[in-house]
Amino acid sequence: MKPMCSLFLSLLLASQSVLYAQSDARAWAQVMATPPGSPVFVAVAAARERRVYFVSADEDTLVVLDPAGATLSPRAERFMTQIAKTHPEYLTTSTGEFVTGDFRFTPAGLFQRGKLIAGHSDVVRTVPKAEVRALQPAPEVSEGFSGPTHAAITAGIFFGVPFLFFVIACARGCK
């Protein structure tokens, strides 16, 4: 089911979004105006298209957060995308650190409870403008059901299935 949904979303995005190519100066200006932390699909000359998070762009380079490049845990990926959205400067600076809970991001990389789990270049990629073939917005990916929704589904199954059996039994001659 997931591959089918991914294919549908890709086709929908391709048909409705502008594909930014590096050769068009006006389009590159739109790339530079992309809000930090926005999920995007990027195609570069040496690799196939992949989903990353926009950090920044200037006249010569594109900087993206690529959590899949380091195979981060969901918590670590949320930490990194939060930095990209709220403080993208921490992803491109050569000094300082960003700390929240068990995680710390420095110019050396991402640490969890003091242990290095990903080097800086494993998660933050700088791509020369000349290598960017395309960049387009990507949809946010939900992480499943929320707590209340999950509880409602569980309650519906727990109470609904026995009730359904009761209704079926009564329809066959329950007195």
Q: Higher pLDDT residue, 146 or 31?
A: 31
Q: Higher pLDDT residue, 23 or 91?
A: 91
Instruction: Tell me what the mean pLDDT of segment 158-165 comes to.
Output: 64
**Same domain for 167 and 112:** no
Q: Which domain holds residue 152?
A: 145-175
Contact 28, 20 (CB under 8 A): yes
**Same domain for 126 and 111:** yes
**Same domain for 152 and 81:** no
pLDDT digit string, tens, across residues 37-88: 999 998 888 777 888 999 999 999 999 999 888 889 999 999 999 999 999 9
**Same domain for 45 and 75:** yes
**Same domain for 116 and 30:** yes
**Same domain for 173 and 132:** no
Instruction: Tell me what the mean pLDDT of segment 136-150 comes to.
Output: 66
pLDDT band at 25 (very low <50, low <70, confident <90, very high): confident
- Write the burial class of residue 34 (CB in 10 Å: 0-12 exposed, 13-18 middle, 19+ buried): middle
Q: Count up the domains in the chain and report the number.
A: 2
Q: Which residues contact 61 (CB under 8 A, 6 or more apart)?
A: 126, 127, 128, 129
pLDDT attached to residue 75: 93
pLDDT attached to residue 135: 85
Name residue 132's beta-bridge partners: 44
pLDDT digit string, tens, across residues 89-128: 999 988 889 999 999 999 999 999 999 999 999 999 999 9
Q: State the pTM of this model.
A: 0.66
**Same domain for 103 and 48:** yes
**Same domain for 173 and 135:** no
**Same domain for 122 and 84:** yes
pLDDT attached to residue 37: 92
pLDDT attached to residue 87: 93
Contact 117, 111 (CB under 8 A): yes
DSSP 4-70: HHHHHHHHHHHHHSPPB-TT-HHHHHHHHTSPTT-EEEEEETTEEEEEEEEEEE-SSEEEEE-GGGG
pLDDT attached to residue 108: 94
